[in-house]
Structure 1
Amino acid sequence: MRLRNKPWARDFMAEHPDVLLAEPKKMNNGWRDLFGNDHQIHVEVGTGMGQFIIGMAIANPDINYIGIEHFDNVIVSALEKAIEADKPSNLRLFRANGVELAEIFSKGEIDRVYLNFSDPWPKTRHAKRRLTHETFLKLYESVLIPAGEIHFKTDNRGLFEYSLVSMSDYGMKLRYVSLDLHAEMPEDNIMTEYEEKFSAKGQPIYRLESQFSN
């Protein structure tokens, strides 16, 4: 993704602390208090411009959603969309790197992780950077509830095949696998910006749901 510089992004984000948190690490073990309820918490790692996580928050008001994005120039677009959607009360955003999850959440604070159209890092020497590599699976497991879930979507067949093997080798249970999601098009499918773009070109969308062992 080529990022257009937005020099106003930091100031704009600081004006909306009710949606975009400046210091998420301070919320470790306090996320349910922040939301003010005991609902499930679902986290999207790499939320991009926010279409998916905001759509999910609107469609499922009894679930709390958190979108994490590493780049200011991207997450500010998600913030703009959240404002346009009247700031759903069950939605929070923040800027962070996925490797920081264990500093931001405590064990059992998260019920589900979403990985949508992650960077495939196609070169073998970069495999450890893939968000479905064993290192990241251990990280997700460290903050999820027992038997927590990962829901994963991509247009990249190589990454999908790698993820199936990685999760199986880790001992995860594959609960759902689709090699062409849009041929089935579940009614509850919320598309990301990339998903709309790739599916419009006729590219198949791959999806899986996996679960950690108790």
Structure 2
Amino acid sequence: MRLRHKPWAADFIKEHDDIAVLNPFDYRGKWQELFEINQPIGLEIGTGKGQFIANMAQQNKHMNFIGIEKAESIIVTAIQKVLDAEVSNAHLIHENAKDLRDIIAENEIDIIYLNFSDPWPKTRHEKRRLTYHAFLDQYQSILKDDGRIVLKTDNRHFFEYSIVSFSQFGMTLEEVTLDLHKLEDDTNVMTEYEEKFSSKGQPIYRCIAKF
């Protein structure tokens, strides 16, 4: 899907530097300094339009949240949703984070959220999948020893691939759910994609893994 160009996006991001972190590389090893309270940090990779991170910040005041989104035309919507949520425990990064270790130091993150990541279904694109072993190596570095990865997707192939990838990397699977919404999990916060797919009866897959 081609993204609509928003010529005002760059200025909008700069105007809201209280939410968008304009110099994320400067905070490596110091992310807690950005928040009012020192508390566990959740990192969403590919935060999209921001519904998940804004609602998570509202419902989990005992945590801090960072969202990374590379698309300028999309992150502006996420910024607006965090603004509307009136929270102080969420910040966004506009970066194509090829190596998260350039932005985040070892043991800085408590939970990583992978929500409806691009499945990159073609075999030649395997290295781009966010659960490819090279990415898992990054996650292991930035996560605390008891940190977790929470993955949600509507794509069965990507879900199965991710479970195998986690297992081959030596990770422990705490949960594997083939139809998340049948669990009636009150703590589950839906993304825009999740609402769309689940409303059509599409099962949502979730797994939670630890190193």
1:48 aligns with 2:48: yes
> Aligned residue for 1:107?
106
3-state SS of the aligned residue for 1:98?
coil
By how many angstroms is 1:142 displaced? Answer: 1.1
Give the corresponding residue for 2:134: 135
Partner of 1:59: 59
Aligned equivalent of 2:164: 165
Correspondences of 1:122-201 after superposition (within 5 Å):
122-201=121-200
Output the amino acid matched with 1:102: R
CA distance in 1, matches of 2:97, 2:63: 21
Aligned residues: 211
**Secondary structure, aligned partner of 2:149:** strand
**One-letter amino acid of the structure 2 residue matched with residue 192 of structure 1:** T
Q: Deviations over 1:59-97 (max 9, x none)?
A: 0011000010011001001011111112x1100001112
| Partner of residue 78, structure 1 | 78
Aligned-residue offset at 1:23:
1.1
C-alpha deviation, 1:7, in angstroms: 0.4
Match of 1:28 in 2: 28
Q: Which residue in the other structure is 2:6 paired with?
A: 6
What is the match of residue 206 of structure 1? 205
- Deviation, 1:184, is 1.2
AA partner of residue 33 (structure 1):
E
AA at the equivalent of 2:46: G
Q: 1:98 offset after TM fit, Å? A: 3.3
Q: Counterpart amino acid of 1:73? A: S
Extract unaligned runs of 5+ from structure 2. none
CA distance in 2, matches of 1:113, 1:184: 21
- The residue type equivalent to 2:22 in the other structure is A
TM-score (norm 1): 0.96
Please give the root-mean-square deviation of Cα atoms over the aligned residues, in Å: 0.9
Quote the Cα distance in structure 1 between the aligned partners of 2:139 and 2:184. Answer: 27
Q: For 2:124 and 2:198, how far apart are their aligned partners in 1? A: 29
Distance in 2 separating the partners of 1:2 and 1:51: 21
Q: How far apart, CA to CA, are the structure 2 residues paired with 1:172 and 1:98?
A: 23
Deviation at 1:37, TM superposition (A): 2.9
> Distance in 1 between the 2:201 and 2:57 partners?
28
Runs of 4+ aligned residues of structure 1 deviating over 2 Å after TM superposition are none
In structure 1, list runs of 5 or more residues that go unmatched: none
Are 2:18 and 1:37 equivalent residues in the alignment?
Answer: no
Q: What is the deviation of 1:57? A: 0.4
Identity %: 53
Matched residues in 2 for 1:155 and 1:194: separation? 9
SS, match of residue 98 in structure 2 = helix
